[in-house]
Amino acid sequence: MADVVANIAKGRILHYAGLPAASDGLVAIPLEAAGLPTDDVLQDYDTVAELLAGPANEQTSMGRVALTGVVVSVNDTANTASFDANDLSWSLATGTPTGKLVIAYDPDTTAGTDAALIPLTYHDFAVTPDGTDIVARVHTDGISVDSNA
Protein backbone atom coordinates (compact mmCIF):
# COMPACT_ATOMS: atom_id res chain seq x y z
CA MET A 1 0.00 0.00 0.00
CA ALA A 2 1.06 3.58 -0.53
CA ASP A 3 -0.13 7.14 -0.17
CA VAL A 4 -2.87 7.89 -2.70
CA VAL A 5 -5.13 10.75 -3.76
CA ALA A 6 -8.86 10.06 -3.88
CA ASN A 7 -10.22 10.25 -7.42
CA ILE A 8 -12.75 12.93 -6.46
CA ALA A 9 -9.94 15.14 -5.14
CA LYS A 10 -7.49 14.84 -8.03
CA GLY A 11 -6.65 18.33 -9.20
CA ARG A 12 -8.56 19.93 -6.31
CA ILE A 13 -6.51 19.18 -3.21
CA LEU A 14 -4.92 22.63 -3.00
CA HIS A 15 -8.29 24.30 -3.53
CA TYR A 16 -9.72 22.44 -0.54
CA ALA A 17 -6.53 22.91 1.50
CA GLY A 18 -6.93 26.65 0.92
CA LEU A 19 -10.13 26.40 2.99
CA PRO A 20 -12.35 28.40 0.62
CA ALA A 21 -15.52 28.47 2.77
CA ALA A 22 -16.31 30.40 5.94
CA SER A 23 -16.51 27.47 8.37
CA ASP A 24 -14.66 24.67 6.61
CA GLY A 25 -11.65 22.62 7.62
CA LEU A 26 -9.52 19.55 7.10
CA VAL A 27 -9.77 16.52 9.36
CA ALA A 28 -7.56 13.45 9.81
CA ILE A 29 -9.44 10.19 10.31
CA PRO A 30 -7.51 7.06 11.35
CA LEU A 31 -8.67 3.81 9.71
CA GLU A 32 -8.28 0.39 11.29
CA ALA A 33 -5.78 -1.97 9.68
CA ALA A 34 -8.20 -4.91 9.80
CA GLY A 35 -10.54 -4.95 6.82
CA LEU A 36 -8.77 -2.08 5.09
CA PRO A 37 -9.46 -2.11 1.33
CA THR A 38 -6.70 -1.76 -1.24
CA ASP A 39 -5.53 1.68 -2.35
CA ASP A 40 -7.27 1.08 -5.67
CA VAL A 41 -10.60 0.67 -3.86
CA LEU A 42 -10.02 3.48 -1.34
CA GLN A 43 -9.48 6.13 -3.98
CA ASP A 44 -12.93 5.46 -5.47
CA TYR A 45 -14.93 6.67 -2.44
CA ASP A 46 -16.44 10.14 -2.93
CA THR A 47 -17.48 10.79 0.68
CA VAL A 48 -16.38 9.65 4.11
CA ALA A 49 -19.86 8.18 4.60
CA GLU A 50 -19.35 5.95 1.53
CA LEU A 51 -15.88 5.00 2.77
CA LEU A 52 -17.12 3.94 6.20
CA ALA A 53 -20.17 2.14 4.77
CA GLY A 54 -17.75 -0.14 2.89
CA PRO A 55 -15.20 -2.51 4.41
CA ALA A 56 -13.10 0.27 6.01
CA ASN A 57 -13.56 0.96 9.71
CA GLU A 58 -12.74 4.17 11.52
CA GLN A 59 -10.45 3.73 14.52
CA THR A 60 -12.79 5.58 16.87
CA SER A 61 -10.81 5.11 20.09
CA MET A 62 -8.14 7.50 18.82
CA GLY A 63 -10.68 9.81 17.22
CA ARG A 64 -10.54 12.40 14.50
CA VAL A 65 -8.12 15.32 14.60
CA ALA A 66 -8.73 18.69 12.96
CA LEU A 67 -5.76 19.96 10.96
CA THR A 68 -4.56 23.35 12.16
CA GLY A 69 -2.08 25.80 10.70
CA VAL A 70 -2.89 24.73 7.15
CA VAL A 71 -0.81 26.69 4.64
CA VAL A 72 -0.84 26.37 0.85
CA SER A 73 2.49 27.20 -0.82
CA VAL A 74 3.21 27.84 -4.48
CA ASN A 75 6.83 27.61 -5.64
CA ASP A 76 7.14 29.22 -9.07
CA THR A 77 10.84 28.36 -9.31
CA ALA A 78 10.31 24.63 -8.84
CA ASN A 79 6.87 24.78 -10.50
CA THR A 80 5.23 23.06 -7.56
CA ALA A 81 2.37 23.66 -5.16
CA SER A 82 1.82 21.99 -1.83
CA PHE A 83 0.17 22.32 1.55
CA ASP A 84 1.46 21.88 5.05
CA ALA A 85 -0.15 21.80 8.50
CA ASN A 86 0.76 21.49 12.14
CA ASP A 87 1.59 18.07 13.55
CA LEU A 88 -1.32 15.80 14.45
CA SER A 89 -1.36 14.23 17.88
CA TRP A 90 -3.37 11.69 19.80
CA SER A 91 -2.77 11.72 23.56
CA LEU A 92 -2.68 8.41 25.41
CA ALA A 93 -3.92 6.65 22.26
CA THR A 94 -5.64 3.29 22.62
CA GLY A 95 -7.65 0.91 20.46
CA THR A 96 -7.05 -1.30 17.49
CA PRO A 97 -4.04 -0.98 15.14
CA THR A 98 -4.37 1.53 12.31
CA GLY A 99 -3.45 1.08 8.67
CA LYS A 100 -4.29 4.37 6.98
CA LEU A 101 -4.97 7.99 7.78
CA VAL A 102 -7.44 9.77 5.53
CA ILE A 103 -7.34 13.55 5.22
CA ALA A 104 -10.82 14.82 4.40
CA TYR A 105 -12.29 18.22 3.57
CA ASP A 106 -15.22 19.26 5.76
CA PRO A 107 -17.21 22.05 4.07
CA ASP A 108 -19.04 22.89 7.31
CA THR A 109 -17.31 22.15 10.59
CA THR A 110 -20.30 23.46 12.56
CA ALA A 111 -22.92 21.03 11.23
CA GLY A 112 -21.24 18.79 8.69
CA THR A 113 -21.88 15.07 8.39
CA ASP A 114 -19.77 12.26 6.96
CA ALA A 115 -21.90 12.46 3.81
CA ALA A 116 -20.48 15.96 3.23
CA LEU A 117 -16.83 15.12 4.00
CA ILE A 118 -14.70 14.63 0.89
CA PRO A 119 -11.71 12.27 1.17
CA LEU A 120 -8.64 13.99 -0.26
CA THR A 121 -5.67 11.76 0.50
CA TYR A 122 -4.92 8.43 2.15
CA HIS A 123 -1.61 7.89 3.90
CA ASP A 124 0.00 4.74 5.25
CA PHE A 125 -0.32 5.02 9.02
CA ALA A 126 0.55 1.70 10.63
CA VAL A 127 0.59 2.23 14.38
CA THR A 128 -0.49 0.12 17.32
CA PRO A 129 -1.92 2.38 20.02
CA ASP A 130 -0.56 1.30 23.40
CA GLY A 131 -1.68 4.08 25.73
CA THR A 132 1.15 6.44 24.81
CA ASP A 133 1.04 9.55 22.64
CA ILE A 134 1.10 9.23 18.86
CA VAL A 135 2.28 12.14 16.72
CA ALA A 136 2.05 12.35 12.93
CA ARG A 137 4.06 15.02 11.18
CA VAL A 138 2.42 16.70 8.22
CA HIS A 139 4.86 17.87 5.58
CA THR A 140 4.50 19.02 2.02
CA ASP A 141 5.55 15.51 0.97
CA GLY A 142 2.94 13.72 3.09
CA ILE A 143 2.39 12.31 6.54
CA SER A 144 4.84 10.19 8.50
CA VAL A 145 4.76 8.75 11.98
CA ASP A 146 6.99 10.88 14.18
CA SER A 147 6.68 9.03 17.45
CA ASN A 148 4.74 6.43 19.33
CA ALA A 149 6.41 6.70 22.71
CA angle (67, 94, 50) in 5-degree steps = 55
Q: Supply the pLDDT for residue 137.
A: 82
Does residue 125 contact residue 39 with C-beta atoms inside 8 Å? Answer: no
Question: Using one digit for the tens of pLDDT, what is the confidence trace for 64-85?
Answer: 999 998 888 777 887 777 788 8
Q: Which portions of the chain are predicted below pLDDT 50? A: 144-149
Q: Supply the pLDDT for residue 141.
A: 59
Domain boundaries, the chain: 4-148
* Amino acid found at 51: L
pTM (two decimals): 0.88
